[in-house]
Structure 1
Amino acid sequence: MATEHRDAWHKNSYSSAGENCVEVREHAAGADVRDTQNRDTGHLSMPATEWAAFLLAVKAAAL
């Protein structure tokens, strides 16, 4: 079953014009992440629980 993606890809507001940027597409089932410089190479998908845990770890400066 395909997941409907509600939002378009977007970069984090902390991303600069540098080379190390990623884009995120959040949706009800979780999120997809891809390399801005290599969009055609695919993306990583994660369920909502893993995405939430990742965001908490980043906010806590654990990553």
Structure 2
Amino acid sequence: MKIRIPKEMYDKISDYALANDMTFDEAILLCFKLGEAVEATSMAMGSKQPWSPQYEPTSEDGEL
């Protein structure tokens, strides 16, 4: 499967993977699992997803 992610996010995930002795695939799967946990918790509490108002996608995308 191919997904497009902003280059900035790709770099952060890569750095996290290197720092924690993980592959990029393991790190990105962990990100999705954490996102699902936050979403489930937010829904259970009746609130919306806490997205950062500062996030703006960059024009450069990394491709996985």
Same fold (TM over 0.5): no
> Hey, which of these two has a bigger chunk of helix by percent?
2
Q: Which has the higher contact order (CA 8 A, sep 6+)?
A: 2
TM-score (normalizing by structure 2): 0.31
TM-score (normalizing by structure 1): 0.32
